[in-house]
């Protein structure tokens, strides 16, 4: 555990023995801790401090003891900063000795953000066990694929045993059914030993509706702003200093006590703060300060639908200084070209020029009028380094928030699936894969819960149905409370060894291998990639002078357009139409001899070609992307 930062809220086991309890409860005049087990069993009053805090150090209390906080009215509640909820969101909290785990990752020094190839997974559906240990058993498969970072969907304690994780009610407590805090530490340790970074999805825009007792203690929420989940968290009103401290402590907790390499901040457009120093800026500063002390990077990646480059601009330029943010525009532009969908927010997309702009500038909407929103949207991110934007063709939201949770692999044939993969992995941005996409998983990823309140369950059912009214989806959505909805979302990892799934998997592996090996494919300065768009063909020119060129053809029929290609002799190193990857079309030329004039080049339907300039220094022989 880090000696640079110590958590000062919750229950802390002291080196000299005993446990220090500290709680922010400005609404209370008196608070006691009720120890339900251990040598110190019984009630112990806490001493009131300044600014609404209460604390006490209790000798005889130790790791594993259960406790609740008793307020003056006699109500007993779990600890808002609980490290463990062994009996669920309504049960007692458990004292956890953060120094007990013996780490084996002392040689891990993290990795720079530009080396990240992220793999997003949901712990409960990724393996048959549905636990952190189940993920550990599949880490070698992720190494074989070639990804460099695991991104975990939220693991904060949620009600029941089935949930996406965004209904977490205890930000510091690790979901018990996944393996609790010890299980998460084993997973992070195992990843680091294998050279994989770990990013955790955290939720600082709301708490889940069941088991959320924060309002009993203090003004954690405010009705001055509204979010899709109800009242906003109080980051800028009276008493907000302690609320800010609570969530910044949570971020530091994950980096320090769990050795995490980064945090993905969920839906920061639901975080409202009009103070002079935005909570996101303060959080990023504190995390980066701790990372510097620890001697390893810690990255903050935001999910945002604002298209606001201020999130990732340096503080000296008026930004918040976050390391990266998700770019939904890239996904929407790509998705609409391949599927032709136009419902909901997809109504703003579908033009070929939009994907070209996404490659050139990042955001498609950088101040233009959005028909879906009924207003202008976004600002310019073209001056931001590509490593600060994260792109994907699938993720948990874009799959799971469809009515039937269907993946691209059930919507598209394999040629456009390969093109989608190439579009992401050959982009100048940080790529993210969603679990199972690499082999064309057929199981849906549905929305599932396991709440205990019948009225809440019905409200969720109704709310999910209303979310789909903007789309042209006519069926009834699966019941999110039903266990079969969860079971239907489990991966079938065995598919990756079968037929067309195996060939798609091999194609993903080759794309990742090339991305790692070719320096021109590493996220670098925008000037290193030039983008030309012509007749449903994107021509990507890497390097200055050009050393690598990619041709992405989004047409459903083969064609031979006349293209202006850079002069020189070019050798093909990847052809998505090759039988190696499941293609069945006539291969394109192995060599191109280009002069100053345009020349016709045969492009397969939904084709992807990658050519390297012949400089007498070819790629190793294992690159088999040409004609077999």
Task: Please say if the pLDDT value at position 72 is more than 90.
Answer: no
Q: Which residues of 577-593 are buried (b: 16+ CB within 10 A; e: fewer)?
A: bbebbbbebebbeeebe
Domain 10-94's class? mainly beta
Q: Beta 66-71 vs 53-58: how paired, if at all? A: unpaired
**Residue 527, pLDDT score:** 54
Q: Note the pLDDT tens digit of each residue in 80-122.
A: 999 999 999 999 999 999 999 999 999 999 999 999 999 999 9
Q: Which residues pair with 384 in a beta bridge?
A: none
Complete DSSP assignment for 541-582: EETTTT-EEEEEE--SS-B--EE-PPSEEEEEEEETTSGGGT
Question: Tens digit of pLDDT for each residue in 556-567?
Answer: 999 988 888 999
CA–CA dist 36, 41 (Å, integer): 6
Provide the percentage of residues in the chain whose pLDDT is more than 90: 85
601 pLDDT tier (thresholds 50, 70, 90): confident
Please report the pLDDT score of residue 466 as a whole number: 77
Domain spans of the chain, in order of start: 10-94, 523-613
Any idea which of 330-339, 408-417, 565-574, 583-592 has the lowest mean pLDDT? 583-592
Q: Is the pLDDT of residue 473 over 80?
A: no
- Asked if the model's pLDDT at residue 455 lies above 60, the reply is yes
SS3 for 530? strand
524 or 535, which is more confident? 535
Decide if 137 contacts 126 (C-beta within 8 A): no
The predicted pLDDT at position 564 comes to 87
Cα–Cα distance for residue pair 267/262, rounded to 1 Å: 16
- From residue 553, how far is each of 88, 339, 359, 416, 540 by CA, in Å? 51, 15, 15, 10, 11
pLDDT of residue 539: 96
Q: Give, in order, the Cα–Cα distances in Å from 40 to each of 67, 98, 303, 379.
A: 10, 20, 44, 58
- CA 9 from centroid of its chain's CA atoms: 27
Mean pLDDT for 227-248 is: 96
pLDDT of residue 585: 76
Q: Confirm if 98 and 83 have CB atoms less than 8 A apart.
A: yes
Residue 522's pLDDT is: 83
Single pTM value for the model: 0.95
| Residue 103: φ, ψ to 5° | -75, 150
Q: Please count the other Cβ atoms lying within 10 Å of the Cβ belonging to residue 617.
A: 7
For residue range 42-54, what is the model confidence (pLDDT) as tens digits?
Answer: 999 999 999 999 9
Contacts of 16 (CB under 8 A, 6+ apart): none
Tokens standing for residue 113: 């953000």
pLDDT-derived band of residue 36, with 50, 70 and 90 as boundaries? very high
At residue 627, the pLDDT reads 35
What per-residue confidence (pLDDT) applies to 1? 53
Structure tokens at 210: 């069941």
Catalytic residue set: 266, 303
Express each pLDDT in 271-326 by its tens digit. 999 999 999 999 999 999 999 999 999 999 999 999 999 999 999 999 999 999 99
User: In Å, what is the CA distance from 469 to each residue of 271, 346, 380?
Assistant: 26, 13, 31
**pLDDT score, position 462:** 85
Structure tokens at 469: 């009214």
Question: Mean pLDDT over residues 333-360, rounded?
Answer: 96
Phi, psi values for residue 246, rounded to 5° = -60, -50
Q: Which two tokens stand for residue 506?
A: 């091999």
Strand-pair partners of 77 = 69
Average pLDDT, the chain: 93
The per-residue pLDDT for 228 is 87
With vertex at residue 398, the alpha carbon angle to CA 406 and CA 251, rounded to the nearest 5 degrees, is 130
Q: Are 580 and 628 in contact (CB under 8 A)?
A: yes
Cβ burial of 513 (10 Å; 0-12, 13-18, 19+) is: middle
- 49-66 burial, b at 16+ Cβ within 10 Å, e below that, comes to eeebbbbbbbeebbeebb
Q: Which two tokens stand for residue 272?
A: 């409202």
CATH 3.10.450.50, applies to 523-613: no
Cβ-contact 608, 553 below 8 angstroms? yes
Return the pLDDT at 616: 62
What is the per-residue pLDDT for 149? 98
Q: Given this model, what pLDDT does residue 524 score? A: 63
């Amino acid at each position: 555990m880090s000696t640079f930062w110590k958590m000062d809220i919750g229950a802390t086991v002291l080196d000299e023995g005993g446990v220090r309890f500290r709680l922010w409860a400005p609404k209370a005049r008196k608070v006691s801790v009720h120890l339900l087990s251990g040598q110190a069993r019984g009630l112990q009053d806490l001493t009131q401090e300044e600014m609404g805090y209460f604390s006490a150090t209790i000798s005889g209390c130790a790791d594993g003891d259960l406790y609740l906080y008793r307020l003056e009215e006699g109500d007993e509640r779990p600890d808002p900063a609980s490290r463990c909820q062994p009996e669920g969101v309504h049960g007692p909290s458990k004292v956890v000795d953060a120094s007990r785990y013996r780490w084996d990752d002392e040689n891990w020094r993290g990795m720079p953000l530009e080396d990240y190839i992220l793999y997003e997974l949901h712990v409960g559906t990724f393996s048959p066990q549905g636990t952190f240990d189940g993920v550990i058993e599949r880490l070698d498969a992720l190494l074989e694929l070639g990804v460099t970072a695991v991104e975990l969907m939220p693991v904060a304690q949620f009600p029941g045993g089935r949930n996406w994780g965004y209904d977490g009610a205890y930000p510091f407590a690790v979901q018990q059914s996944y393996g609790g805090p010890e299980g998460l530490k084993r997973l992070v340790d195992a990843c680091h030993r294998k050279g994989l970074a770990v990013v955790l999805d955290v939720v600082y825009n709301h708490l889940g509706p069941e088991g959320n007792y924060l309002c009993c203690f203090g003004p954690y929420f405010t009705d001055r702003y509204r979010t899709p989940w109800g009242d906003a968290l109080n980051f800028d009103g009276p008493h907000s200093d302690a609320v800010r401290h609570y969530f910044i402590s949570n971020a530091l907790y994950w980096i320090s006590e769990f050795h995490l390499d980064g945090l993905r901040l969920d839906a920061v457009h639901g975080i409202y703060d009009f103070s002079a120093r935005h909570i996101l800026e303060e959080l990023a500063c504190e995390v980066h300060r701790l990372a510097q002390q620890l001697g390893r990077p810690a990255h903050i990646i935001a999910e945002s639908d604002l298209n606001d480059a201020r999130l990732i601009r340096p503080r000296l330029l008026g930004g918040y200084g976050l390391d990266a943010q998700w770019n939904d525009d890239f996904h929407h532009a790509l998705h609409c070209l391949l599927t032709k969908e136009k419902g909901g927010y997809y109504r703003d997309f579908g033009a070929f020029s939009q994907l070209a702009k996404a490659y050139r500038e990042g955001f498609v909407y950088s101040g233009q009028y959005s028909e879906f929103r009924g207003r202008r949207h976004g600002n310019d991110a073209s001056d931001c380094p590509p490593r600060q934007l994260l792109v994907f063709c699938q993720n948990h939201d874009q799959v799971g928030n469809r009515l039937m949770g269907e993946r691209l692999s059930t919507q598209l044939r394999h040629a456009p699936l390969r093109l989608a993969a190439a579009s992401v992995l050959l982009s100048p941005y940080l790529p993210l894969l969603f679990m199972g996409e690499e082999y064309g998983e057929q199981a849906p990823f549905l929305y599932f819960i396991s709440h205990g309140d019948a009225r809440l369950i019905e409200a969720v059912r109704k709310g999910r149905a209303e979310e789909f009214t903007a789309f042209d989806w006519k069926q009834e959505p699966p019941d999110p409370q039903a266990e079969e909805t969860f079971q239907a979302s489990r991966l079938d990892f065995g598919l990756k060894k079968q037929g067309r799934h195996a060939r798609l998997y091999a194609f993903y592996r080759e794309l990742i291998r090339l991305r790692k090996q070719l320096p021109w494919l590493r996220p670098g300065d925008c000037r290193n990639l030039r983008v030309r768009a012509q007749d449903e063909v994107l021509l990507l020119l890497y390097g200055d002078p050009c050393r690598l060129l990619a041709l992405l053809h989004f047409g459903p029929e083969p064609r031979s357009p006349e293209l202006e290609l850079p002069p020189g002799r070019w050798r093909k190193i990847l052809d998505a139409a090759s039988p190696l990857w499941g293609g069945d079309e006539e291969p394109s030329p192995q060599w191109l001899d280009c002069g100053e004039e345009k020349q016709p080049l045969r492009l397969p339907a939904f084709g992807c070609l990658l050519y390297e300039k012949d400089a007498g220094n070819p790629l190793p022989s294992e690159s088999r992307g040409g004609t077999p």
